[in-house]
Amino acid sequence: MITLSTIHEAQKKDARAQRLLFDTYGKILYRLAKRYLSDPAKAEDAVAESFYILLQTIETCRFLAIPPFEMWMKRIVVNECLKVIRKDKRYDILTDSVSENYSVDDVLIEHLTAEEIFRLIEELPLGYRTVFNLYEIEGYSHVEIADMLGISSGTSKSQLSKAKGILQKKIIDLNPAYAKRKVI
């Protein structure tokens, strides 16, 4: 378990404290990276680079509680993932519209596991997935996302809407009987 004293020891370059941070948060941050980068090797690289940055800059930060420290780490990982996406120039803004929207029964959603939801998000096209993660999971605004990705806020909104449409369709495809009605 991480305590403030563990963080303070890591700030003093204590190897055991730094290792405890990695052991505690490594898998969590890898899973975060996988939400953005579907390639496991790239996700691992992003986490490794993030830990390097974290350990190089932790001594300059002041943490009074664990949650701000965790948010700081996650922000580093998200930024590293976005660097990879921009570097690979694979961030495509898709213009295909989802032709059908469906209404989903809450019962179906309740029976989906976190792993199934994660897999469905991972299957989204990169542009949709990136905006979806930044907005719905990380809590960034469309203006912030637009700035991060070099797109307009309208494009961010459009990408989010299309991502939700695709996710909705994928959920229904898991069990079409749960679709209450088709909305055109």
The owner of tokens 């179906």 is 108
Return the sign of the alpha-carbon dihedral for residues 33, 35, 37, 41: positive
Q: Please state which CATH number belongs to domain 4-88.
A: 1.10.1740.10
- Residue 101 has a pLDDT of 43
- Listed by start position, the domains of the chain span 4-88, 101-183
**Is 4-88's fold the same as 101-183's?**
no
Q: Please state which CATH number belongs to domain 101-183.
A: 1.10.10.10
Tens digit of each residue's pLDDT (9 = 90 or more) over 62-115? 999 999 999 999 999 999 999 998 887 655 554 444 434 444 444 445 667 878
Round to whole Å and give the CA distance between 12 and 4: 13
Q: Does the global pTM surpass 0.85? A: no
Instruction: Read off the amino acid at residue 99.
Output: S
Round to whole Å and give the CA distance between 15 and 20: 9
Please name the residues in contact with 86: beta carbons below 8 A apart, sequence gap of 6 or more.
Answer: 149, 150
Give the mean model confidence (pLDDT) for residues 147-163. 91
Round to whole Å and give the CA distance between 138 and 73: 12
Round to whole Å and give the CA distance between 173 and 100: 12
Round to whole Å and give the CA distance between 51 and 58: 10
Note whether 70 and 135 are within 8 A (CB). no
Tens digit of each residue's pLDDT (9 = 90 or more) over 23-32? 999 999 999 9
pLDDT at 175 over 90: no
Round to whole Å and give the CA distance between 120 and 104: 15
